[in-house]
Amino acid sequence: MQNFVFDLYGTLVDIKTDEYAEKFRKKVTAYFLRLNPAVPDFFPLYEKLCAERVKGEYAEIDLYEVFRDILNYGGNTVDAKTVQKAALYFRRKSRMRLKAYAGARTLLKRLKERGARLFILTNAQACFTVDELKRLKLLKYFEGVEISSDFGMKKPAPEFFNYIAQKYSLDVENTVYTGNDFNADILGAKSAGFKTAYIKSNLSPESDCLEKIKPAADFATDNFKTLYGYLVSLSEN
């Protein structure tokens, strides 16, 4: 196997956020009001702009554009750097945990040393995720990082998987996709012809049943060490 494509959150990275905590909402509201006094109430406007952008079953909005429109609301004007800084403030204040799973870096390093090509294909927001990849020092392992907010569609849309295959000239017969969500990751990847590996993690959907997933995926486990061994073995063939 030459190409290894990974989901990010729940597969390589453990994260916890809470966008409903009262303390978080007060801080974010005050922050955006300082940048744009014309904003009437941040969260109702935020939710309204998000809802207006959803077009289609697998459509993915770009929160950077939402933050930009809020900061420019009422004739206010801000630059791109200010918008990105505001997006990161929002994310950091909502984030309670961010860390790579034990063994994740070792796995990526081992695969890289064996000459494998590594990629990320994830449902996420670029205005959050690029910064988090840098913080975790994971970017160096990947030849490409494709994020749904940039593409405009999210997994399990086969178009998203086809996009990464075409962009990086991946032979899907020699590509394995690893994720922690049966519907988004395994069914999505298989619909585009990828080989699949499933890891049941603390962030997997509650409805995911390992025994039902095993016949559908090429490999499935709830143990990262077992996943590590499987993926490394594929790089040896």
CATH of the domain at 164: 3.40.50.1000
Shared domain check, 102 and 87: no
> Within this chain, do residues 52 and 83 fall inside the same structural domain, yes or no?
yes
Q: Are residue 230 and residue 170 in the same domain, yes or no?
A: yes
- The answer to whether residues 147 and 111 belong to one domain is yes
- The last residue of one of the domains, among 39, 61, 96, is 96
Q: Which parts of the chain fold into alpha helices (H)? A: 22-35, 42-53, 63-71, 80-94, 104-113, 126-135, 148-151, 158-167, 188-191, 210-213, 224-236
pTM over 0.85: yes
23 with 52, same domain: the answer is yes
Q: Are 160 and 148 in contact (CB under 8 A)?
A: yes
Residues 102 and 92 in one domain: no
> Which residues pair with residue 98 across a beta bridge?
15
191-208 per-position pLDDT tens digit = 999 999 999 999 999 999
Q: Which of 71, 96, 121 marks a domain boundary? A: 96
Stretch 80-87: mean pLDDT: 98
Q: How many domains does the chain have?
A: 2
pLDDT tens-place string over residues 114-151: 999 999 999 999 999 999 999 999 999 999 999 999 99
Mean pLDDT of the chain: 96
Q: Are residues 144 and 215 in the same domain?
A: yes
118 and 214 in a common domain: yes
79-101: average pLDDT: 98
Give tens-digit pLDDT for 17-72: 999 999 999 999 999 999 999 998 999 999 999 999 988 889 999 999 999 999 99
**Which amino acid is present at 195?**
K
Q: Which of 96, 122, 157 is the last residue of a domain?
A: 96
Residues 226 and 112 in one domain: yes
Rounded to whole angstroms, how far apart are CA atoms 68 and 59?
19
Q: How far is CA 141 from CA 108, 118, 145, in A?
A: 6, 7, 10
Residues 155 and 232 in one domain: yes
Q: Do 102 and 85 fall within a single domain?
A: no
Q: What confidence score (pLDDT) does residue 60 get?
A: 97
Q: Domain check: are 224 and 169 in the same one?
A: yes
Please, what sign has the CA dihedral across residues 217, 219, 222, 227?
negative
In the prediction, which pLDDT does 237 show?
61
Residue 193's domain spans which residues?
Answer: 3-15+98-236
